[in-house]
Structure 1
């Protein structure tokens, strides 16, 4: 009965695909080349069957056919040997783990391998969705015809929306639907007289679902995307975005893919912006070429026509706060234990003097252009002796927009060995960091920067860690304890002759506590003699994987005064302590508390702190409150919530306020109405979008038919970012 499995799997896939294509715009389907009905049905025999007239065999008792995980039942079956047909009646059902079909009658012709199922009703349990058809015909040459089919994800008590069609014809490579319509609350809202869709791996050209919205800086917006399937490995999506205040923006995204190449090109053009009084253009290119299995060439770059392009036309704070656009070309070669990059990096500056606001846009020097550079990273391990050799080397030539530049060569080689003492790992290591800088003879050079500078600094460390685990007697709770101690010694060597090219002070956290160098980058190696120690303790429910308690405590004892620093960084004295602690605790099944603090004993001040409370009582009840503090940078209050107010109605919101700047950074509030099969959301938002502190206001509406698609402005991402654990389903 393998033909049953094949036929039903294909039937399920086609019915589902037909009614989902409208939301995706591009359908994809893979199916077998074999017909659903195969030869051999003429050999069917019915035991305990009665012989009627005209060479008919009739089975009156319930028929039950099991084929793998599928079960077919019928109240009665008649086999006509003369006509080579089988008639199953008195209730025909098909059951599988994810699909249930119920029909009134099935007519199967064993000669031409065709079948007709009448008055069928089907249910997909994994979506869930259901539908019906007056007839489901299996024709010759792998063709399928559905007469008067329907599809919905609503239950029978609340059939709010439904897709209906007069007829759907499915061929080997293409399907065709006639007079397909979407009805909402029994009112037709969309009608298409004819629609074609692919029934194989090929994508098909056509319009995608449009979106709309409004904002104070762009006005009313309507986006209409069109997808063009140029070739199996080339496609183009073109979107016309009409903005009432600015005009019509044309956005094109081209993708090209071969076994060795991957290309993505994006081009946006807004002719004669009504507010800017000039053309606006943005372009982005990403190209990847793999000449061989262990080599790769990457080219990427961006261009914007003016410095305020993202502030005026983007829809997110991250985009509008961009200060420069990178352009890179890199040749990569790699082996089992090593990676080498050779490339160049350049930038387009969008703002030479960005202001520092609560959205964390701060003054910083323009980035250096690297032209060219080479870096090499290798790691070799001996499984027998547990000896590791790490090599990190680079050679770069750089310049700056302020006309200073030079060359730098650097190599850091580290040798280490891991000792394992009954679960306690001890790792001593020794490294040598060598660097040399040479300034260009032409160009500006600050007085404190010499023409040539070099350093050779040894790095010694000893790292000891363990992972202790205990399981409760009832196998429900896992207790884990992870202590760690690390000692580091890096002697002092004057490095003031090296310019700052790529070095910065990272955000201090538990992992940074156990880094040898306190800086990120290669311009400075921080002198230190320190001992860092910490512990991570967890209490976890094994079945669900939920951490009931996670406690982290770490501390660094500085054994001598620090002399190497970078602008904005305070040097620590001998005997000072750097501390951090965090606690995540599930106070109840619904209430979670998070604490995170980082402080320094030298200044006896808190450098970073965060307190957060999360309440989640059910799928629809979410409440998050938090306070964030970062010395000389951030002092913020943040709250998000999603709360039911009546029946299917819920109130949703997000609010972020800067106490330091006395300004609202981002806020949105909205209403959401949701049933089992559809929802509608309306959101009003106001957030910082310009670097000078100006805001943008917007209004969005999204209408979603679950299992089909969404219409309007895609605001799910806004909810997910603003509301912790938001579930768009």
Structure 2
């Protein structure tokens, strides 16, 4: 035991031991207590609680924290005393409590305590069969079943010798356990340097069960600094299943959850575009509020790439910078893509959020690549989906109770080697918005949505647009009804660039004739009126022996927008939105402001719900349809990617949707659209999710959109046992007659080790169905040492994104 040399004694040593001797002669346990210890309820290193189950239907489940639930009880914790305080600073003023069965004090300077000896002071507790103490030199010698506890550590040994005044102790044949983590091991020799530092020779370290180390570090010398949360090993060998696989002459690792500088575990990967990849990152803990990571990577088919990441957090600002650079690419060019052989290639990603004062915030996200094929060649082969466009933006934003505003710019880069740059949307450079939502009284409000933007793009028409959209809305409601009238006015004006007459627009209703723009400042103005009404009925009902509240909610929505010929307006950012249930109640079927649909429509819809006694929605079913009193005449040109279908019929599709989750084991979601005019199904989706045991899941979905999409998607996590799980996903496109993605893997989880092996085949870019070069294969291996880190610790990301409900 190594108390501080300045520790005051409220009783002289001889008197303390004399009291113990007197009690020993009477046959009782010797006990001299100079001050009571303050109890603490802080527990020792117990097994981690199991992660909460991710609710069904959640798209991205959070990662599971490291769990030690499968660990055996720790043998060292048998002598752990949770009532001791956890603050070593209390030693300076704490008294000492000594208990023993026998005391021998024949020599006035030398005392021998024997028989269940217990010495306690503040966070320190020393127990042994026998303790010899020299009052003149403050030397002590504990022998036989030695057990020592302090704020950060438990230790057992055959013998513990030390000097109180020198604040030093030496133990032989040691077993130790860190209390701030599951770190434990054995050593031939251990030194207790002070309350926060210890050193061991011929030592092992692991977070596995004591005596059952599936992985461990064996080192000639190990120093543990609990103050900084760092272990420093020299002459270290990493072992897995008692097989050495990595030797490091100098090795540092965390002994708690704090971050530290040092090498992270290497990453291995393989793809058919860049060959085998090997990377070994180095983490730099530069300061409490910023850090960096350097990651050199070697691609066997392309060369050496250097990646770096820098993160910072200062008052009012947080951000992250990522840079990747590969000189003189040795790989092959992508067919149809940019020439890359022999070129320097790079990727830049930067994000920042800064508070400017008051309600104003500046945010930016810059993403640029050297060429269109970069992400295809160097995107992480397992956990990055194909991206066709990189978006960059910078904005100043602000808002209050009744207003919001922004000013900034958006830019886009094509990173799809199979598509020309002409498919990339316009740059919005600059763009300003102003939104108002001002309540006049409790049922009436005035608002406005305003946008001013300049559109930039090479070799097409460019210009500026101002869109003003003020409205007046009322909300009358009761317990079982609502009436929401709304009156708006939309004014959109353009100023086209000087060469606008070089370009033209398509004729009405998708005609093929192109007419030149003959007005540099076209505009459009029209009113928009709507009335949204509904009733809500409810009753008590029962289903499968469970009582529910059932609602019946009829709803009518009338929309009127007069027709304005808009064929002379350019198309900068407008597309036809997908028709779904919420489009039944939308004032426009186009995104952007370049087109405003005309309407004289009445939507009728009906919804029913089942709510359990706690108010949770267990079933929701809705159906609706639009009745057109006049055809919608505003269309998009036929050459546009998303052409507006004509609506010269009386009724829209029937739109139905269904969601059921009567318990926590399964969930079903479905949507269906049937066209009464063509008598064809336009859309159908079905999603089924079933929980298997505590940590298994099965998902199946079917997606159909006429003339566009027909896909099956199945994924599963199947637990074979408490430790083993099978993982898989398969996505098949019927229209393309090929697999879009196939993923298979196995996962092993134990007390202190998790292993994942995942293989993936996937489409990485658009291209002809017969072109098999736009697919990729990847095989990744991940080995997680709980409490220490992971080899390839990123496969979990793609599993969470690809398998609904994965944790």
What is the TM-score normalised by the length of structure 2?
Answer: 0.72
Q: Contact (CA 8 Å) 2:674, 2:683: kept in 1 or not?
A: yes
Distance of 2:247 and 2:724 partners within structure 1: 30
Pair 1:249 & 2:305 matched: yes
Partner of 1:663: 738
Distance 2:92 2:222 in 1: 28
Structure 1 residues 129-180: Cα deviation after superposition (integer angstroms, max 9, x where no partner):
4634568866447544567765545446964223455432327557452334
Match of 1:345 among 378, 387, 410: 410
C-alpha deviation, 1:392, in angstroms: 1.1
1:278 match: 342
Question: Which residue of the other structure, out of 391, 394, 416, is the alignment partner of 1:329?
Answer: 394
Report the alpha carbon displacement of residue 393 of structure 1 after superposing the two structures with TM.
0.8
Secondary structure in 1 matching 2:739: strand
Bigger drift between 582-591 and 341-350 goes to 582-591
Whether 1:437 and 2:486 are equivalent positions in the alignment is no
Structure 1 residue 717: deviation in Å? Answer: 2.6
Shift of 1:576: 0.6
Deviation at 1:403, TM superposition (A): 3.5
Contact 2:465 2:494 in 1 (8 A): yes
Which string of whole-angstrom CA distances, capped at 9 and with x for unpartnered residues, describes residues 320-353 of structure 1?
A: 7544433433333433432222223333345697
Matched, 1:535 2:617: no
Equivalent in the alignment of 2:588: 517
- Secondary structure at the counterpart of residue 38 of structure 1: helix
Q: Which moved more, 1:505-514 or 1:144-153?
A: 144-153
SS in 2 for 1:371: strand
Report how far residue 225 of structure 1 moved. Answer: 1.4
Q: Distance in 1 between matches of 2:193 and 2:554?
A: 70
| Matched residue, 2:32 | none
Residue among 766, 773, 790 paired with 1:710: 790
Is 1:379 the equivalent of 2:437?
yes
Q: CA deviation at 1:205?
A: 3.2
Provide the C-alpha distance between the structure 1 equivalents of 2:383 and 2:286, rounded to a whole number of angstroms.
33
Distance 1:684-1:521 versus aligned 2 partners, 3 A rule: same
Match of 2:3 in 1: none
Q: Which runs of 5+ in 2 are unaligned?
A: 1-35, 49-65, 67-84, 334-340, 505-514, 638-642
Q: Alignment partner of 2:95: what SS?
A: helix
Distance in 2 between the 1:437 and 1:33 partners? 70
1:290 is matched with 355
Q: Is the alpha carbon distance of 1:10 and 1:576 closer, same or farther for their aligned partners in structure 2, counting shifts above 3 Å?
A: closer
1:305 aligns with 2:370: yes
Report the counterpart of residue 177 of structure 1 in structure 2.
Answer: 232
Residue in 1 aligned with 2:468?
411
Q: Secondary structure, in 3 states, of the residue corresponding to 1:222?
A: strand
Q: For the structure 1 residues 626 and 678, does the alpha-carbon distance in structure 2 shift closer, same or farther, using more than 3 Å as the test?
A: same
Q: Distance in 2 between matches of 1:247 and 1:57?
A: 70
Taking the TM superposition and a 5 Å limit, the aligned residue runs for 1:87-98 are none
Q: What whole-Å deviation, never above 9, does each CA across 1:31-63 have from its counterpart, x for those lacking one?
A: x997444333236588x9988646989897898
Query: Is the alpha carbon distance of 1:569 and 1:455 closer, same or farther for their aligned partners in structure 2, counting shifts above 3 Å?
Result: same
Once residues 651 and 150 of structure 2 are traced to their aligned partners in structure 1, the CA distance between those partners, rounded to angstroms, is 71
Q: Against the structure 1 CA distance between its residues 107 and 37, is the aligned structure 2 distance closer, same or farther, given a 3 Å change threshold?
A: farther
> In 2, distance between residues paired with 1:80 and 1:718?
61
CA apart distance, 1:659: 0.9
CA distance in 1, matches of 2:86, 2:208: 34
2:263 is aligned to 207
Q: Deviations over 1:251-285 (max 9, x none)?
A: 22233443244443332222222224222222233
2:320 to 264, 270, 279: 264
Q: Give the structure 2 partner of residue 24 of structure 1.
A: none
Counterpart of 1:503 (choices 567, 574, 593) is 574
1:493 corresponds to: 563
**8 Å contact kept, 2:549–2:613:** no
The equivalences for 1:48-127 within 5 A come to 53=105, 103=156, 122=177
- Give CA deviations for 1:99-137 in whole Å, capped at 9, x if unaligned: 99685799999878888899556598x98x463456886
* Aligned mates of 1:185, 1:651 — CA distance in 2: 22
3-state SS in 1 of match to 2:278: strand
- Deviation string 1:205-246 (CA, Å, 9 cap, x unpaired) is 322111102111111111121223445544332222211112
The residue number in structure 2 matching 1:160 is: 214
1:492 deviation in Å?
1.7
Matches of 1:173 and 1:12 in 2, distance apart? 23
Show the counterpart of 2:531.
462
Q: Aligned-pair distance for 1:595?
A: 2.6
Q: C-alpha deviations, 1:628-650, integer Å up to 9, x for none?
A: 11122111122223446799665
Please give the alpha-carbon distance, in whole angstroms, between the structure 1 residues aligned to 2:392 and 2:633.
Answer: 36
**How many Å separate the matches in 1 of 2:783 and 2:253?**
24
| Cα 1:550–1:102 shift into 2, 3 Å | farther
Aligned residue number for residue 244 of structure 2: 188
Structure 1 residues 11 and 44: CA distance shift in structure 2, 3 A: farther
Contact 2:493 2:522 in 1 (8 A): yes
- The alpha-carbon deviation at position 190 of structure 1 amounts to 3.0
Distance 1:466 1:52 in 2: 91
> Where does residue 452 of structure 1 map in the other structure?
521
Match of 1:686 among 761, 778, 787: 761
Which protein has the larger Cα radius of gyration, Structure 1 or Structure 2? 2
Are the structure 2 counterparts of residues 369 and 652 from structure 1 closer, same or farther at C-alpha, using a change threshold of 3 Å? closer
Asked if 2 retains the 8 angstrom alpha-carbon contact of 1:215 and 1:696, the reply is yes
1:316, 1:689 within 8 Å by CA — same for their partners in 2? no
> Quick one: structure 1 residues 238 and 532, their matched pair in 2 at CA, closer, same or farther if it must change by over 3 Å?
farther
Q: Supply the distance in 1 between the matched residues of 2:528 and 2:375 (Cα, whole angstroms).
A: 44
What is the root-mean-square deviation in Å for CA atoms of aligned residues? 4.8
Does the residue aligned with 1:505 lie in a helix, a strand or coil? coil
1:564 aligns with 2:564: no
- Are the aligned partners of 2:427 and 2:457 in contact in 1 as well (CA < 8 Å)? yes
Is the contact made by 1:366 and 1:401 (CA closer than 8 Å) also made in structure 2? no
Per-residue CA distance 1:297-341 (angstroms, 9 max, x = gap)? 344433322222222322469967544433433333433432222
CA deviation profile, 1:646-675 (whole Å, cap 9, x unmatched): 996654332211111112211133444554
Are the equivalent residues in 2 in contact too, given 1:6–1:36 (CA < 8 A)? Answer: no
- Quick check: 1:221–1:244 contact (8 Å CA) kept in 2? yes
Structure 1 residues 116 and 37: CA distance shift in structure 2, 3 A: farther
Would the aligned equivalents of 1:560 and 1:575 in 2 still touch at CA under 8 Å?
A: yes
Larger deviation: 143-152 or 220-229?
A: 143-152
Q: CA deviation at 1:609?
A: 1.0
Checking the alignment, whether the CA contact within 8 Å between 2:191 and 2:199 is kept in structure 1 is yes
1:120/1:496 CA distance change after superposition, 3 Å: same
The number of aligned residues is 693
The match for 2:672 is 597
1:701 corresponds to which of 771, 778, 781: 781
Contact 1:321–1:691 (8 Å) recurs in 2: no
Where does the alignment leave 5 or more consecutive residues of structure 1 unmatched?
Answer: 14-19, 21-31, 356-362
For residue 25 of structure 1, what is the aligned residue in structure 2? none
Q: Is the 8 A contact 1:408 1:438 kept in 2?
A: yes
* Structure with greater contact order relative to length (CA < 8 Å, sep ≥ 6): 2
Gap change, CA 1:641 and 1:324, over 3 Å in 2: closer
